[in-house]
Structures are given as C-alpha cells and as structure tokens.
Amino acid sequence: MQVSIGQIANALGGESLIRHPVRHELDLMAVVESGLPIEPLIHLQTKFGFTNKVMSQILAISESTYQRRIRAREKLTRDETEKVIALSEVYEKGIEVFENQQDFQEWLSAQIVSLQHQRPIDLLDTILGRKQIMRVLNAILHGIYL
C-alpha cells in the first residue's frame, strides 16, 4: 500500500514549507529537480524525533556539514531531496501502523526479527533499507507478522 501525495506533503510541512504545489507525483518530481528547501527536512526530523547526528547519518553527510547547511538555509541536493521524500513515506506509514509517535519511535530503535535483528533506524539511509522497512510496516498493517 502506497502513501498518498497528500501524506508526503503533510509529513514535509505542507506546501508552505515545500514552497511548491504538490498535487501529484509530477509535482514531486519538480521538487526533486529544484531541490527541497531545508525547512521541510527540519520539520520531518522533528516529527521523527531525530537528532542532527542521526539525520546527518541518514543523509550521508557529516553532522557539521548538516548543521552548517541548516544555518545557511541551503537547499537540498537532488539525491537528498529524493531521500527526504522517501523518509516522509516511511514516517507516514509508521504513524499509520502504530497510530502514535512514541510507539513508532520505539519500533524504529528496536531490533526487528524480520529485519534480521537490525534496527529500522539503521536502515533508513539506503533505498533497499527503506524498502524493507516499508515491507515490514505493510505486513504489520495487514496483520501479518514476519
């Protein structure tokens, strides 16, 4: 089950933070091309409850670079924008499954058997890791415990 475009936009703080209308996937593609402003990332980071250190690891940049980019209000690169959009999907799916922030955060930090005893938070930095997280979340949502 996919996450809707509206849910993605919501996780990123809405069109006012994204600074671009987001009605369908083509709008998201335009956002990727131009790069997200830093504010939607900060908004999503706050929703996840991640520190700058964790978010910089997910983005595969140093923490000092991440903090500098926040201060300078720099736009994200194309790759970073795609990663942030994918993270917003994971966030929205996690909230849908667990129905509250605290339970989802606890699950992200727990060793999950169906992820070979890895913590979901440690898999958020790769496409394949996020895909596996979404697979497990969808299974839980449908009452299938892997």
Provide the residue-wise pLDDT of the chain in tens; the chain has 146 residues.
489 999 999 999 999 999 999 999 999 999 999 999 999 999 999 999 999 999 999 999 999 999 999 999 999 999 999 999 999 999 999 999 999 999 999 999 999 999 999 999 999 999 999 999 999 999 999 988 76
Percentage of the residues of the chain whose pLDDT score is greater than 70:
99
**First CA to last CA distance, the chain:** 17
**CB of 1 closer than 8 Å to CB of 138:** yes
Token pair of 141 as six digits: 């949502």
| pTM beyond cutoff 0.85 | yes
Residue with tokens 């900060």: 42
φ, ψ of residue 94 in degrees (nearest 5): -60, -40
